[in-house]
Amino acid sequence: MAKKENKSETYEVKGEDLLKKVKELIHEGNIRRITIKDKEGRILVQFPLTFGVVGVLLAPMLAAVGAIAALVTECSITVERK
């Protein structure tokens, strides 16, 4: 049985666009993990996303992303896809 590889993509965003981009990525689907790093490359937060995570379970994560967006001017989002 062949093992499926995860693809990784990185997006550079400004703080004010962070929440919008994360919501957009979640809406696209088939995402396994989202990692947000500051401009120096330090991991600020990492969220595993499993199949079926919706609504109430996303609210605390999006609130945390909103708080991070208020604190950083530039950051990167690394997305691992299935």
Q: What is the pLDDT of residues 30-81, one digit of tens each?
A: 888 999 999 999 999 998 876 555 666 677 888 889 998 888 999 999 999 8
- How far is the C-alpha of 82 from the C-alpha of 33, rounded, in Å? 9
Query: How much is the pTM?
Result: 0.81
Q: Confidence class of residue 18 from pLDDT cuts 50, 70 and 90? A: very high
Residue 66 Cα distances to 37, 45, 82, angstroms: 14, 12, 25
pLDDT class for 2, splitting at 50, 70, 90?
Answer: low
Q: What's the confidence (pLDDT) of residue 81?
A: 87
Class of domain 7-81: alpha beta
